[in-house]
Amino acid sequence: MKALVSFLALTGIFFSVFSQEIPNGNFENWTKTGNYEEPDHWITPNMLLSGLGVSSVKKEFTNVHSGNYS
């Protein structure tokens, strides 16, 4: 029983360490799709709104926190 609890605790710690990273969390990587750009590894409504000529997600070049984009 003690070994099982130790195993489960170590397994939980192991998986919690790897669950903290957000892919493209700094929004530095973008991919051009049709007439708009999307941040890599993120889902946006741009695909649905592009037929209406509207783009809801845009890159910010001027007021950035860190890196090249906001």
Helix (H), strand (E) at residue 32: strand 30-33
The structure tokens 């998986």 sit at 15
Please check whether residue 2 lies inside any domain of the structure: no
Band of residue 56 on the pLDDT scale cut at 50, 70, 90: low
Please check whether residue 3 lies inside any domain of the structure: no
Please give the tally of structural domains in the chain.
1
Count the Cβ atoms, other than its own, within 10 Å of residue 46: 19
Please check whether residue 7 lies inside any domain of the structure: no
Residue 53 is predicted with a pLDDT of 73
Among candidate residues 1, 67, 3, the one with its CA nearest the CA of residue 30: 67
Range of the domain at 55: 27-70
Residue 48 is predicted with a pLDDT of 79
Please check whether residue 56 lies inside any domain of the structure: yes
Please check whether residue 34 lies inside any domain of the structure: yes
More confident residue, 70 or 42: 42
